[in-house]
Every structure is written in structure tokens, then in C-alpha cells.
Amino acid sequence: MDEFDVVIVGAGPAGATAAYLCANAGLSVVVIERGQQPGSKNVSGGLIYAQIYDEIFPNFWKDAPVERTITGHSVVFLGDTAATALDYRAEASAPHYNAFSVLRAKFDPWLAAQAEAAGAMVMPGFTVDELIVENGRVCGVKAGGDELRAQVVVVAEGTRSQLLKQAGLREAYSPKDVSIGIKEIIQLPEQTITDRFQCLSADEGAAYTLVGHTGGVQGGGFIYSNRDTLSLGVVAKIDSVYKSKKQPHEILDEFKSHPFVARLIHGGEVVEYSAQTVHRGGFHLIPQLYGDGYVVAGSAARLLLNNVMTLRGMDVAVASAAAAAKAVIEASGKGDFSAAGLASYEEYFKATSVYKDMQTFKNVYPLLENDRLFSTYPDMVCAIMEDMFSVQLQPGKKGYRALRDRMKDHDVSLLNLAKDVYQIGRGVAL
């Protein structure tokens, strides 16, 4: 009864995917989930990039509770009251589509059900208190007074993962590598959302990434359209929030008060508020992913990717879990669950597109600590736009003149601007 091949901690995208793949390969799998049902404990933004899911759950969108197909992506710079947007719109590409908005409270139970159908046992409502470690080897978990032994433990407990740290298997994380996500779900009529986000039908939606107007803290906002709700939030560096002396909800309220955001949420009712720490992710923070008797995947392993335009966690979780599952299945074939037996996880993960993307965008991170990006430039960009679009009684100016004048207003030297352009270039463009 208490001997399994695989015990998985957490039934989010990483845990459920690992469970599905391991159970499909004939291993005995139990997944332990803290929430009363999968999805009830997370504070996820809610955008999934479809292709990685599609490889594992073909055509999942036909069956899974996805909200809208994302056909519009915008990057919006919020000035004091103005906004300047880079707006990309495209027809919904044929399958596999690019991205979907999801509400995890609906989506995760579906994923967990796929794992159950494959033969995994999903146990919601139980918290894993600690790993059982004997002679430096993980050989099971303790949960609610019971011990559950396993050949291998998959740690997929999400962003606040403490199990490996408790067991002395990893270092404590540094606060500077942690952000806080503050999020609301705002209810609006389906048709209102369709119209407001300029979509043709309720199957289509848009995703906005917003920079600026986060009360001076280093962070960005997001707005995703779901079927009859919006997921809206701010992700901000936790040390920056601390320094600002602001409460998380104050930062969110300030963000919501910006006219650009206020127009989108006007008349909506807040039906959910939540906040949670979230890793900043990044290539330089990829930890050791395996050891004797365990592997770690998804947010529990700090695997996230932020490139200013997109913030990816859920597809990174699935890709890492799939690589981990492959290694676990092989280890089972060899009968060797030691670190050496599980080492192929790293090779498989390094072969994923996700890993390569993390590598590609590894220079984004210094950019995310550049205060000018969050407080000065959004405002400056809007001021330049104002110059370009306003017809006044004084003679107008050409773009470069407007830029130089506004730089003076905002105390930005040419040298700083050049440095920042270089940084932006290295991070996301070149």
C-alpha cells in the first residue's frame, strides 16, 4: 500500500504531466496535492503557450477547459495618465494555435483527470510535510502523519517549494530572485470582453503586458481576457515592493486606476483577489534538477522565463516535467534511481526549446532591474507621442527634437539612454 514507484508532490501542470507520463509507462504513481482540488491553491496569471502541451496532450484545447484563443498581444507603456501600445493582432492560426488564456481552478482538475485516467492516483487535500531522507537518499514523503515510500519523488510543489531546502538538499533562495504576483479576477459579461478587446467572437481573446505605473516598483502588469472574466495583475520584485513601503494591494489599486486599465475593467466586479511569491526565473538561476531518489520540476525548480513581452511558467513546467518523467521511466528500466540513474533528466531538459529560450533571453534580467524602464521611459514615451500627435499654437517639432526635449524633462542623459538601448537590445532584440 505504501510502496510506489513514483510519489509526486503537487498536482499543477508539472506534477500532473509527470504523473500522466509515468502512469502511461506503467509505473505506479501517486500525486499528493495540498488544495481541496487541483488548481485551488495557485495564483497563476493564466496564459499557456499551446505547442508544448500539444506534444503531450494532442489537441487538448478541444477537450480541456481553456478560456479564449489569444489572437492579440500588446505591450503597453503606461505614462502618468497616457498610454502607448505596441499592438500585434493576427488571425487565430490553425491548430495548434499559439496561446490560450486559462483559469487554473478549471484547467488543473482537467490535467489531473488525464493523469488519473492514465492510472495515477491523485490525492487532493493533503499537504506533504517533509521528504523522507535516509543515508542522503530521498525515499518517500511524510504527509499528515502518514509515511509514503517511493522509488523516486518528483518535487513539483510550485513556487513556494520548501521540501528540498528543509531536507538540506538545496540552498535557501535569495530575496532578490523573488517577485510577488498580485492578481485579481474581474467579472464582466462575455460580450463586453469580446467588444472591449476587439475580438470577433467569445473564442478569441487578447493578452496585454503593461510596463509602468506600478508605483515606482520594478515590475510589470498583465491583463488576459478569459471567457467572462479578466485576469489582471502586477508582478513586482519583492525587494522593490519592500523598499516602496507599499502594500501589495495598493500597488494593484494604483495600477487599476490608470485610465488605460480602468477603461478595460470598467463596470467589472472583482470576484477573486490573491497574491503569491513567484520566482523571477532565468537561465542563471536554473538549479540542480535531480539527486539521489528525487527530481524537481516546474516552479519548484525556479523554472520560469520572463522576456518582458511574455512571462512563461506553465509551459516551462510541462516541458521540464516531461523531461523529468522520461528520465524517471528510464531509471525505472535500469532499476537505478540514484543521482547517476536520473542524470539524463538534465540532458533531456537541455534539449527542449524552453531551455534554449531561457538561454536566448538570459540577458533580459539586468533589464528588469533598470528603474528607468519602469518609471521614466513609459512616461517619456507617452510624452513624445503627445508631442507628435498634438497640434498646438507653437510650431511643432520633429521626432528627435521631441525626444531630446523630453529626455531633458525626465533627466535622462544621452549616455544613459544609449546604455539602456544597448541593454534592451541585448536582452530582447539582438
Partner 1 sequence: MKIVACIKYSLDASEVKVDAASKELKMAGVPYKVGVIDKHVLEMAVSLQEAYGGTVHAITVGPVSAKESFREALAMGLEEVVLIENPLEGQVAPDVTAVVLAEAIQKLGDVDLVVCGEVSDDGFTYQVPPRLAEALNMPLISFARTAAIENGRLVADRDLEDSVQTVSVPLPALISVVEESNTPRRPTLLEAMKAKKKPVNIWNVETDLGLSAADLQQKAALEKVSAEGVVVHRKRQILKGDDLNALSNELVDLLLADHILEGGA
What separation in angstroms does the CA of 229 have from each of 174, 193, 208, 258, 359?
35, 8, 14, 19, 34
Considering only 91, 145, 391, 392, the residue that binds partner 1 (CB under 8 A) is 145
Report the nearest approach of partner 1 to the CB of residue 126 (Å): 5
Instruction: Indicate the residue type of 191.
Output: Q
The window from 68-76, 144-152, 165-173, 193-201 that contacts partner 1 (CB under 8 A) reads 144-152
d(CA 218, CA 235): 9
Q: Which residue has the cell 532499476?
A: 335
HSE at residue 360, side-chain half, CA atoms within 13 A, is 12
The window from 54-62, 137-145, 292-300, 334-342 that contacts partner 1 (CB under 8 A) reads 137-145
What separation in angstroms does the CA of 10 have from each of 31, 45, 204?
7, 18, 31
Residue 97 or 126: which CB sits closer to partner 1? Answer: 126
Report the nearest approach of partner 1 to the CB of residue 123 (Å): 6
Residue 123 or 308: which CB sits closer to partner 1? Answer: 123
Query: Under 8 Å CB-to-CB from 397, ≥6 apart: which residues?
Result: 387, 405
Report the nearest approach of partner 1 to the CB of residue 185 (Å): 13
Considering only 6, 32, 252, 322, the residue that binds partner 1 (CB under 8 A) is 32
Q: How far is C-alpha 252 from the geometric centre of its chain's CA atoms? A: 18
Residue 118 or 123: which CB sits closer to partner 1? Answer: 123
Report the nearest approach of partner 1 to the CB of residue 121 (Å): 6
Report the nearest approach of partner 1 to the CB of residue 199 (Å): 23
252 binds partner 1 (CB under 8 A): no
Report the nearest approach of partner 1 to the CB of residue 251 (Å): 27
Report the nearest approach of partner 1 to the CB of residue 244 (Å): 34
d(CA 86, CA 191): 24
H-run or E-run covering 87: strand 83-89
273 binds partner 1 (CB under 8 A): no
What separation in angstroms does the CA of 384 have from each of 26, 83, 379, 402, 418?
62, 11, 9, 6, 17
18 binds partner 1 (CB under 8 A): no
30 binds partner 1 (CB under 8 A): yes
The window from 142-150, 256-264, 338-346, 392-400 that contacts partner 1 (CB under 8 A) reads 142-150
d(CA 226, CA 190): 9
d(CA 250, CA 326): 44
163 binds partner 1 (CB under 8 A): no
Q: Which of residues 109-128 bind partner 1 (CB under 8 A)?
A: 121, 123, 125-126
Report the nearest approach of partner 1 to the CB of residue 56 (Å): 24
Considering only 2, 3, 80, 87, the residue that binds partner 1 (CB under 8 A) is 2
H-run or E-run covering 273: strand 269-279
Which residues are near partner 1 by CB under 8 A?
1-2, 30, 32, 121, 123, 125-126, 143-146, 148
